[in-house]
Each structure stands twice: as structure tokens, then as C-alpha cells.
Amino acid sequence: MDATTSMFGGTAAGSLRFDRLVFAAERAQTRSATNEDPIEARAIAAVKAGDASAYDYLVTKYTKRVISIAWGIVRNPADAEDLAQEAFVKAFENVGRFKSGEPFGPWIYRIVTNLALDVMKHRKRFRHEEISDTVPAERRDRSDLPAIANELAARIDRGIESLPEMQRIVARLYLVEEFEHFEIAKMTGLSEGTVRSHLSLARGKLKEKLADLHGGSND
């Protein structure tokens, strides 16, 4: 199985809204339910029946977004690719427990998020492996990553990266990946209230850091 396609979700910003930052990103539309994608439903059924080759469809459909989610948490492209591959392997090994008729996306997103959070816990125990709180991790192959269109997007990215860990993770999942509160709660194992709290704190800090971009307004 090849789940290591080097394609990352983007953060090129055309405008800034503090209820949700608007990022222009080239990503597959993977949020639709399984019953809106009959090929996905058939692929899942085939995999459950023992046809491993049918899993290729799911890997191809979700790899880009899965790597993007992992990269947003661990901020290291090599780790993100490894985590994506590990997530797809884990999902494949446990596909018998997957509920038929459900969309595959939320399940694989939750798996890769949990794996990425485990990596972050490991980094805390071994500080020499930590990524700087202020300097984003170097991206290995920028040709595979969306270019940051302008200084506005770069400043937003730096602002999010400077947040405390869980605020940063929740902010990226909400503002960049555009997951809803309940989705983030399921992915991270946090309560929805905790997700909202982290997001509220993150917004406040981002407003302070980027106050000159919106005139200090609270809107």
C-alpha cells in the first residue's frame, strides 16, 4: 500500500475573518457522506469482504487531507507522511470494526489525529525532539506544498504556530482544516466545550498578534 503521496493541505489566505480565517486551499472534497459516494461505499464493502486492492480507492481519496491534518499537528513533513501511512494501515487492520454506511473520512481523521497527538506527547518527554514554539518546522519539499501567497498568510501562520500546543492544534483544525467543533472533539478526544474554550483563547491571542490587520476591532 502506498499512502505517502507528498501532498499537503494549504494555507494561502486571500482575506481574514476572525470568526473563521479564510484559507484558499486545493484539497479534495472529502466531507461528503458515504451514501453520496457510492464508489467509497463499494470499496469499504469490498475491503471487508477480503479484497485488499479496493482499499487503494480510500487511500487515494483521503491521503492528501490526512497528511495535512498530521502536518498541522506535528509540523514536520516526514513525520506527517509516516503518520498518514500508519493511520491507513491501522484503519485497514481494523476495518472489520468500521460501521458500514458511515463515511470513512471522520474515522481516518480521528485515527491520524490520535497518532499525531501521541507523537507530540513523546516529544514532550524527549525535549531534544521538540519543534520550536516560535519557528515553524522546515518543509522538506516545498514544491509539494501550497505556496504562502503573501505576508498576510505568513503572519497568520506564524500567529497560529506561536499558540500553546492544544490551542494551536484546535485552531489549525478549525481555522485551516475547517472542521466543526463537534468533529474536532471526536478527533481529539476533548469535550466540545473544551474545544470551544481552546478556540476562544486562540482567537483572543491571534487578535492581539494581528491587531493591526483589523484595526483592533473585536468583531
Query: Using CA atoms, how far apart are residues 71 and 34, in angstroms rounded to an integer?
Result: 25
pLDDT for residue 122: 82
pLDDT for residue 21: 38
**Maximum pairwise Cα distance, the chain:** 59
Query: Using CA atoms, how far apart are residues 84 and 80, in angstroms rounded to an integer?
Result: 6
* C-alpha grid cell, residue 43: 470499496
Q: Residue 114 pLDDT more than 70? A: yes
Mean pLDDT of the chain: 77
Query: Using CA atoms, how far apart are residues 31 and 62, in angstroms rounded to an integer?
Result: 10
* C-alpha grid cell, residue 129: 525532539
Q: Residue 126 pLDDT more than 70? A: no
- In the chain, pLDDT over 70 holds for what percent of residues? 68
- In the chain, where the domains are located: 12-213
pLDDT band at 121 (very low <50, low <70, confident <90, very high): confident
Q: What CATH fold (topology level) applies to the domain 12-213?
A: Rna Polymerase Sigma Factor; Chain: A (1.10.1740)
Query: Using CA atoms, how far apart are residues 119 and 114, in angstroms rounded to an integer?
Result: 9
- In the chain, pLDDT over 90 holds for what percent of residues? 55
* C-beta separation of 1 from 88 below 8 A: yes
The mean pLDDT of 16-29, rounded to a whole number, is: 37
Of 62, 81, 85, residue with least CA distance to 71: 81
N- to C-terminal Cα distance for the chain?
47
* C-alpha grid cell, residue 140: 522538506
pLDDT tens digits for range 135-182: 444 444 444 444 434 567 778 888 999 999 999 999 999 988 999 999
User: What is the distance, to the nearest Å, from the Cα of residue 77 to the centroid of all Cα atoms in its chain?
Assistant: 12
The mean pLDDT of 79-84, rounded to a whole number, is: 95
DSSP tally for the chain: helices H, then strands E: 8, 2
pLDDT for residue 193: 96
Least confident of 30-39, 43-52, 71-80, 198-207: 30-39
Query: Using CA atoms, how far apart are residues 80 and 71, in angstroms rounded to an integer?
Result: 5
Q: Write phi, then psi, for 26 (nearest 5 degrees).
A: -95, 100
Pick from 3-7, 26-30, 136-140, 173-177 the range whose average pLDDT is largest: 173-177
